[in-house]
Amino acid sequence: MSNTSTLIITGDKMQGFCINSDILTITELLNLSKSQFQKKAEIYQCIFVTQGINQKQVATISERLEKLTIKPRLRLLDEMLNKEAKAFTHKLHHENVLISKPKKIAEDKFQSQLLIDNGCDIISDHVTRQHLQGMLIIESARQSMISIIENYYTEQTERFKRSFILKNIDSNFLKLIFPLDVNILSKLSFHAQSNNYVNATISSDFFQYDQLCATITINFIVMNTEKISKKEVTLLSDTLAKATRSSTDEKIL
């Protein structure tokens, strides 16, 4: 039997996507016996590993392929092995990072790729049929914003010492986005910039196979974390005082 097609592998949370032919979840693939795995290799020319798969699972697939007599080509998302570090997106857990490390392609333009981990918190309790939910796209745009500033506009000694404050998010969804290749092209515009303060807007376009699917535009400011913390304490004190007065003034029914 000649192998001519592609088998797509996706994360377990993308089960709605797997109702289509030639698509398996990672668990379905790894649960195949050696003979079943070999039979798949004889049918498919390529195994395409897409969204929801982590690097450890990629290594496991690669190891199993090496043991086959007929080996289909293993294809990964272009930037799958170049995922951004959690610190550069201000995340505590690596599985919640949604992007590859952004590459600077022009003075004010950057490119990255959507990389979803099956353990990501956003898809832990909500997966929308076959397409990716909009909050994943918005959050990946927010992470791109943070990563670009930390990587390209922050001195190494000052990294991770500033806080990002969102002022406005404008989202425009044009087409459904599916758990395959998704490229992110971001353009950054500064309104004010100094060592202690940044006011900027970043517009991130999401492309799937050359089609523009969404644009997320975020206006934000960046300030020293210590300064923000002092302001936060003042605002919290005022808010707690109002909450206390409100509770005291309530009538007991």
Q: Clarify whether residues 29 and 131 are in a common domain.
A: no
Domain around 183: 86-231
Q: Clarify whether residues 148 and 29 are in a common domain.
A: no
Amino acid at 168: N
92 is written with which tokens? 């505590």
CATH code for position 142: 3.10.129.10
Q: Clarify whether residues 142 and 187 are in a common domain.
A: yes
In a domain, 238, yes or no: no
pLDDT at 91 (0 to 100): 95
Query: Who's near 219: CB < 8 A, 6+ residues apart?
Result: 166, 167, 168, 169, 199, 200, 201
Q: Clarify whether residues 117 and 224 are in a common domain.
A: yes
In a domain, 116, yes or no: yes
Is pLDDT above 80 for 50? yes
Question: What are 142-153's pLDDT values in tens digits?
Answer: 999 999 999 999
Please give the model's pTM, rounded to 2 decimal places. 0.90
Query: 70 or 170: whose pLDDT is higher?
Result: 170
Q: Clarify whether residues 68 and 91 are in a common domain.
A: no
Is pLDDT above 80 for 253? no
Is pLDDT above 60 for 4? no
CA 59, CA 50: separation in Å to the nearest integer?
A: 14
In a domain, 247, yes or no: no
Please give the tally of structural domains in the chain. 2
Is pLDDT above 80 for 252? no
- What distance lies between CA 91 and its chain's CA centroid? 11
Is pLDDT above 80 for 60? yes
End-of-domain residue from the set 51, 76, 101:
76
- Within 13 Å of residue 13, how many CA atoms lie on the same side as its CB? 22
